[in-house]
Amino acid sequence: MSSAPPGPGPSGPTPLEPNTRRRVLRQGLSVGVATGAYGISFGALAVAAGLDVWQTCALSLLMFTGGSQFAFVGIIASGGLASAPSAIAAGSMLGLRNALYALELTPLLGVRGPRRMAAAQLTIDESMAVAVTQDDRRAARLGFWVTGISVYVLWNLTTFAGALVGNAIGDPRTYGLDAAACAAFIALLWPRLRGRDSIAIAVAGGVVATLLTPALPPGIPVVVAAAAALLAWRGPRETDGSAGVATP
């Protein structure tokens, strides 16, 4: 059943149903906690790679895309400062997926001015995932902002903590923080795989990334897979009848 996009009523936009609002807030905050907690790993690994605490924190504050940050420090760790150009190139390539996300989020969020700049900074895997899994434009916008802000705040706090602790805690991946973030992300996307097209796109993206990973530099397989999936997603597909949010 289709519905018209929610518009302003006599006293402004219609608010979300309380249950829907609570559900979206719970989703966004849970993803923020799971993802933000893994920032401690980045902080520790960045310091181990030779960056100081403030350089590490600057990467999280300004770059703010975990895949690019890990790619950057991984190359620095193996090649030192001489490998900085390669590290920047790899981080930039991996960060291109956020630009692809922006193509889908721009008409959905409808922001202008300073809010548009803030939205660009918060456009990451997690905020994109929470936004597009909603069945209502208002819920999608709330999910984007709650997820993006919670991840940003927690990621930067845990980055600082990890950088201070450094190698004293060992490899934080042994605590399962990486698995928690991935599990939360998969839990959001899994219910959306309801049609043959969406399942085919997900499988194709995974196969492309898996096949290219051994042969190409870090970041490029993910960019290629994401680009192929998003191009297919933006093509003809069935909709769920929601206001501005399409079912891939």
Contacts of 24 (CB under 8 A, 6+ apart): 16, 130, 134, 139, 142, 143, 146
Domain of 135 in residue numbering reads as 18-185
87 assigned to some structural domain:
yes
User: Would you state the structure tokens that stand for residue 224, as one six-digit string?
Assistant: 């290629």
Residue 151 has a pLDDT of 94
Dihedral over Cα of 153, 164, 60, 45: its sign: negative
Kindly state whether residue 230 falls inside one of the protein's structural domains.
Answer: no
199 lies in some domain:
no
**Distance of alpha carbon 55 from alpha carbon 67, whole angstroms:** 17
Domains in the chain, number = 1
DSSP string, 224-238: HHHHHHHHHHTSS--
Mean pLDDT by 10 residues, the chain (248 residues): 43 72 91 87 84 91 86 74 70 78 87 90 91 88 94 95 76 56 57 72 79 70 66 51 40
- The per-residue pLDDT for range 21-66, each reduced to its tens digit, is 899 999 999 999 988 888 888 888 888 878 889 999 999 999 998 8
**Inter-residue contact 3 to 138 (CB < 8 Å):** no
Residue pair 122/90 in contact (Cβ under 8 Å)? The answer is no
Positive or negative torsion for Cα 28, 29, 33, 34:
negative
Please report which residue ranges of 38-136 form alpha helices under DSSP H: 39-48, 53-58, 66-79, 84-109, 113-121, 125-132
Let me know if residue 222 belongs to a domain.
no
Residue 204 has what pLDDT?
79
**In which element (H, E) is residue 12 found?**
strand 12-13
Q: Is residue 47 part of a domain?
A: yes
Residue 76 belongs to some domain of the structure: yes
- Tell me if 222 sits within 8 A of 94, measured CB to CB: yes
Would you state the pLDDT for residue 11? 46
Q: Are 20 and 136 in contact (CB under 8 A)?
A: yes
Cα–chain center distance at 98: 8
Residue 98 lies in a domain: yes
DSSP 30-46: HHHHHHHHTHHHHHHHH
Q: How far apart are CA 227 and CA 224, in angstroms?
A: 5
Query: Is 180 part of a structural domain of the chain?
Result: yes
Any idea what DSSP says for residue 219? T
Do residues 44 and 165 lie in contact, with contact meaning Cβ atoms separated by under 8 Å? yes
